[in-house]
Amino acid sequence: MEDTNYRMPLIGDPAPAFEAVTTQGPIKFPEDFKGKWVILFSHPADFTPVCTTEFMAFASMADEFKELNTELVGLSVDSLYAHIAWLRKIQELEWKGMKNVEVKFPLIEDIKMDVAKKYGMIQSQSTTQAVRAVFFIDPKGIIRTILYYPASLGRNFEEIKRITLGLQKADKDSVATPANWRPGDDTIIPTPGSCGVAKERMESKDENKYCLDWFLCFNKEKK
């Protein structure tokens, strides 16, 4: 029996390379996106209701992601012609104040499932559809976060934006973000690597930092 489970790349792995035809022309991935963050996301099929609402939401936020130096790339195992027809139909729909939505980011044609298999998007419950996956890839081409959703659950794109901001904040300032972090909230200082550093932290008079205990210290962020 054919093995229908394919290895999913892990956080910290280089993003698997591929060439593909898309609704915005051919791409070489991740080469064409060097120096940018990329959100690579898959959906089960064109002309499906949950996916349609997702594309309307994501396309409406595309400019917000561009401001974060982040490119969006979609994928399903449908043909290019199905993609084009679906995106044209989306532009005719109106939902939650979104209308005339033009999807300007590339949507990958993956009929042979080559890309979906490389990214572990084809899982045991279906050998003919990609699951709802999201890969966050940094400017060096490294996978930083992976999310999976069941077919019945639409993605929260504000959360996807929050994750992007959190990853960028961590890289920029060498910090971590606490539970329910939002941009502007205080951030966590990495755990000390020695007893001496732990002691210094607890005795520090720095007004821009505070500790709940030696292992849990925060930077005060400017509001």
63: number of CA atoms within 13 Å, CB side?
3
Distance CA 146, CA 148 (A): 7
pLDDT of residue 122: 84
What is the average pLDDT across 150-168? Answer: 96
What is the signed CA dihedral for 116, 119, 124, 129, rounded to 10 degrees?
Answer: -20
Distance CA 86, CA 53 (A): 12
3-state SS, 104-159, equals CCCEEECCCCHHHHHCCCCCCCCCCCCCEEEEEECCCCEEEEEEEECCCCCCCHHH
pLDDT at 203 over 70: yes
What is the average pLDDT across 27-47? Answer: 96
Catalytic residue numbers read: 51
pLDDT of residue 124: 63
Q: Is the peptide bond before 192 cis (omega within 30 degrees of 0)?
A: no
pLDDT of residue 1: 39
Domains of the chain: 18-156 (3.40.30.10), 174-223 (3.30.1020.10)
Name residues whose C-beta falls within 8 Å of residue 49's C-beta, 6 or more positions apart in sequence.
none
Distance CA 166, CA 186 (A): 12
Higher-confidence position of 4 and 133? 133
Q: Is 106 exposed, middle or buried (0-12, 13-18, 19+ CB in 10 A)?
A: buried
Crossing angle of helices 80-90 and 49-60, in 10° steps, is 70
What mean pLDDT, rounded, does the chain reach? Answer: 93
Lowest mean pLDDT among 53-67, 96-110, 200-214: 200-214
pLDDT at 126 over 70: no
Closest residue by Cα to residue 134 from 161, 98, 94, 105? 161
Any bridge partners for residue 133, and if so which? 148
What is the average pLDDT across 53-69? Answer: 96
